[in-house]
Amino acid sequence: MTGYSDKLSAFLDGELPDVEMQVIEGALAKDPTLQAELEALMAADAMAKEQFAEILHEPVPLELAAAIQNAPTESPANTPRSPSGFKMLTAVAAVIALAIGGAAGYFTGRTQGQQVASAPGWLTDIADYHGVYAAQSRHLVEVPANEADHIQTWLTKSVGVDVRIPDLSAEGLTFQGARLLVAVGKPVAQLMYTDADMSVVAICQIQSGTPRDGFEKLTINAFDMVTWGSQNSNFVVVGDENRGDLVEIAQLAASQT
């Protein structure tokens, strides 16, 4: 690594004062090692922009991030190679892999009934909320069921989509009331139901420009979930793990929302 190596990233981004920019330009013209380090940074930047432009908007498996970090690289033809250049490119690749993982959020396990390591951000948030509120009795809901008209008006205005309260009595569920949650920085409507054993099932609704297709079952933090989309919303039904009727509950709710 040369004396200017720690300033190459700022140089590439045009963040240095003019005097320092000119000094590094002069050093680059004379020092092949420094030039190799700069080209390594440029290659990493191009890789991020060209190869991962679309992937930044999709869930990224941890295996992919590890593959990016460990992938071999090649220098352009006739470009001097140096150990420092390779080390810098490896470090940059690792940073890119970590950044992609952070920006894209958690990856989704698209399996039926299997435990997943993580999931899209809002579903993980919902699982966390359910773990807290489903354990409540007196404070299960924020607004009780006898204020159903107010609940629908309040949550529709807050979430920005039409919120309806499905009648799930055919599945043995009684509506108890509602809460307003926040997941991934967006308001979420949470409708709370209980069965004859007082086990809690919640239906959550969030505004989305990309509704999910079909029904998908997954498990997060010991809670089973079934997700689906409709018009400008995404929904999830969440209940205890190994509860066998969530798909039927989701289908009944979907027919009324």
Assess whether 136 and 192 both reside in one domain: yes
pLDDT, greater one: 250 or 94: 250
Assess whether 177 and 239 both reside in one domain: yes
Q: What's the total number of domains in the chain?
A: 2
Q: Lowest-confidence range among 6-20, 50-64, 130-144, 155-169?
A: 50-64
Nearest to 242 by CA among 219, 215, 216, 221: 219
Note whether 178 and 146 are within 8 A (CB). no
Assess whether 173 and 82 both reside in one domain: no
Note whether 37 and 1 are within 8 A (CB). yes
Q: CA-CA-CA-CA torsion for 234, 240, 241, 242, nearest 10 degrees?
A: -100
Which domain, by its residues, includes 73? 5-104
Whether 228 maps to a domain, the answer reads yes
Task: List, in sequence order, the alpha helices (H) in 55-178.
Answer: 62-70, 83-104, 121-133, 148-159
Assess whether 188 and 237 both reside in one domain: yes
Assess whether 238 and 137 both reside in one domain: yes
Assess whether 84 and 135 both reside in one domain: no
Whether 109 maps to a domain, the answer reads no
Whether 210 maps to a domain, the answer reads yes
CATH code for the domain of 140: 3.30.200.100
Q: Give the DSSP H or E segment for 143.
A: strand 143-144
Sheet holding 186-194: strands in order across?
Answer: 143-144, 174-183, 186-194, 200-207, 233-240, 223-230, 216-220
Assess whether 131 and 179 both reside in one domain: yes
As beta bridge partners, residue 187 has: 182
Whether 197 maps to a domain, the answer reads yes
Whether 114 maps to a domain, the answer reads no
- Per-residue pLDDT of 198-257, as tens digits, reads 889 999 999 887 777 788 888 888 888 899 888 888 899 998 888 888 899 999 999 988
Q: What's the pTM value of the predicted model, to 2 decimals?
A: 0.53
Assess whether 193 and 135 both reside in one domain: yes
Whether 125 maps to a domain, the answer reads yes
Assess whether 193 and 152 both reside in one domain: yes
Residue 236: its pLDDT value, please?
A: 92
